[in-house]
Structure 1
Amino acid sequence: MVVSSPPGQIAIVNNKTLQRDCLSRVLAVEFPERKILPFARLDEWNAAADKHEEVSLVIICEGEAPSDLSSLAAATAHTPPAAIIILSDSEDPASIFRALDLGVKGYIPSTLGAEVAIEATRLVIAGGVFVPAASLIRAASEPSLARQEQPGRNYPRISPRQLSIIAAVSRGKSNAAIAMELNLRESTVKVHIRNIMKKLKVKSRTAIAHKSREILRAEGYELHNAADMQRLSLDIARSS
């Protein structure tokens, strides 16, 4: 299926000149209709963001692990509705979920091949969310790796209705499917999901699914096994 996407420029933030130039050339070939804007540091991009309102995607390249994830919030605030992708050498689930909480739409580890990375970029441009399946499987089998929190107790008050919606989102169901399953209006489901995002302090459906794993476990909901988790990210992106 061919997915049309709005025009927009792509900004690349990478402090390594050779990598930055190579990525710029690859993206220019894969997305010829989009201008590529290279930046050496995130603060350079933040300073120039107001001059580039047409940027719809920012790719931030990191090393072993994102060095200052809190700075991503500034990048997000500067360029709504630009999407953010992190390209990193790290596949640490905690870093990935923290990035999702801050509004990142794609997390691409450098262990992935170019073809997968390009397709992940296309998915984000089309409005989806990309998370490496290997990290989801690892987090599913070792939940303690996903978050540095006390499980089960330190979560906001969630109503039974919201728990049902969280569980449905975690299964990759669309708003329309949730509305039909719970006998609600689709507009009501949207309001619930917005409120859930505020309570959990997240910005995406994927982040809801992962931040709520301990909540659902504590409330007795059935969780995904590793095989289910491998498909979860794409399912949630499609239902957004």
Structure 2
Amino acid sequence: MDVLLADNHPLILWAFQAMLEEIQPGVSVTSVSTPAAVREAVAAQPSRFGLLLLDLQLGDPASGYELLADLRMQHPELPVVVVSATNHPADVIHAIDLGASGYLPKRLSTTALADALRLVLEGGIFVPPMGPSESTAAVPASASAGPETYQTLPSFEALGLTPRQADVLGLLLQGKPNKEIARRLGLSVETVKDHVQAVLRALGVNSRTQAVLAVNQLAVGRRMGPMTVGVGGSR
């Protein structure tokens, strides 16, 4: 796999590259340090990279989010995982809303960061624990910033998803739009919409962003760590 690593701190670039090469021997890592270099690398070879690790602080935060949004719109098949010095709930939610396939806080311990990178390289999605305590299985009831209220989530067993709904959830967690989910699963877009609504109801949330956070918190609540719901041939 070819990975594009975008960060403007030389030590961070070196540390991430070394960790990626150790976790997955044979991985090819290309490092860039500016928004322009990110755009040029992706535009030059759109199908080359299997993953982009993007630090939103390459410029000011606003331009980082703009870059993320542009990449997801112009290159929807390229998974983008945000790497950040913070893990504020509002930042995580905003990144996932814009289509990020995960969110890696740099403040994670070396072991935790290695586990998170391993999960991402295997096609999973990593979102840091959210809520007033990093060990609580809760998710914001609203994706908007501001005072946070929390709702208790059911166990995975209690969700009662059908196998097809689980497939839809797996692709939904990868940020795939309804048309792409329909194409991959051989379903109509209307059927996919029905499945998405059923999944959201089962999770007790109102949006895809909340679904991503909810699944992550269910895993954390069961002491499983951040997890992925897999779909055959998903990446």
1:238 aligns to what? 229
Contact preservation (8 Å) 1:49, 1:78: no
Which of the two has higher C-alpha Rg?
1
Distance 1:117 1:177 in 2: 32
Deviation at 1:42, TM superposition (A): 2.4
CA distance in 2, matches of 1:75, 1:227: 29
Quick check: which one's helix share is greater? 1
1:50 partnered with 2:46: no
Q: Which residue of 1 aligns with 2:27?
A: 34
Q: Is the 8 A contact 2:130 2:139 kept in 1?
A: no
Task: Indicate conservation of the 8 Å contact 2:84/2:104, yes or no.
Answer: yes
Residue deviations 1:145-197, cap 9 Å, x none?
Answer: 8423899xxxxxxxxxxxxxxx999x766551758xxxxxx976985545758
The unaligned stretches of length 5 or more in structure 2 are 149-153, 167-184
Q: Deviations over 1:31-68 (max 9, x none)?
A: 221110000012211122122322011111245x9443
The counterpart of 1:16, out of the listed 9, 21, 24, is: 9
- Match in the other structure for 1:97: 93
* C-alpha distance in structure 2 between counterparts of 1:130 and 1:145, whole Å: 20
2:110 equivalent to 1:114: yes
Kept after mapping to 1: 8 A contact 2:104/2:128: yes
Taking structure 1 as reference, are residues 31 and 140 closer, same or farther at Cα in structure 2, changes over 3 Å only?
closer
What residue in structure 2 maps to residue 156 of structure 1? none
Distance 1:61 1:150, change over 3 A: closer
**TM-score, with structure 2 as normaliser:** 0.62
Q: State which of 124, 145, 150 in structure 2 corresponds to 1:148.
A: 145
Partners of 1:12 and 1:91 lie apart in 2 by: 19
> Counterpart of 2:50 in 1: which secondary structure?
strand
1:72 to 64, 68, 73: 68
Identity across the alignment (%): 19
Structure 2 Cα separation of the partners of residues 211 and 91 of structure 1: 18
Deviations 1:53-103 (A, max 9, x none): 22011111245x944313202222444422111111211111111111222
1:176 partnered with 2:163: yes
Does the CA-based 8 Å contact 2:219-2:225 persist in structure 1? no
Partner residue in 2 for 1:130: 126
Look up the SS of the partner of 1:132 in the other structure.
coil
Q: Name the amino acid aligned to 1:58.
A: L
* Equivalent residues of 1:120, 1:130 under 8 A apart: yes
Q: Quick check: 1:13–1:59 contact (8 Å CA) kept in 2? A: yes
Work out whether 1:61 is the aligned partner of 2:55: yes
SS in 2 for 1:76: helix
RMSD (Å) for aligned C-alpha atoms:
4.5
Distance 1:82 1:212, change over 3 A: closer
SS of match in other structure, 1:12: strand
Alpha-carbon separation, structure 2, partners of 1:108 and 1:60: 10
Q: Alpha carbons of 1:50 and 1:62: their partners in 2 closer, same or farther (altered >3 Å)?
A: closer
**1:116-161 deviation line (CA, Å, top 9, x unaligned):** 222222222333211112458579768478423899xxxxxxxxxx
- The farther-off stretch of 135-144 and 38-47 is 135-144
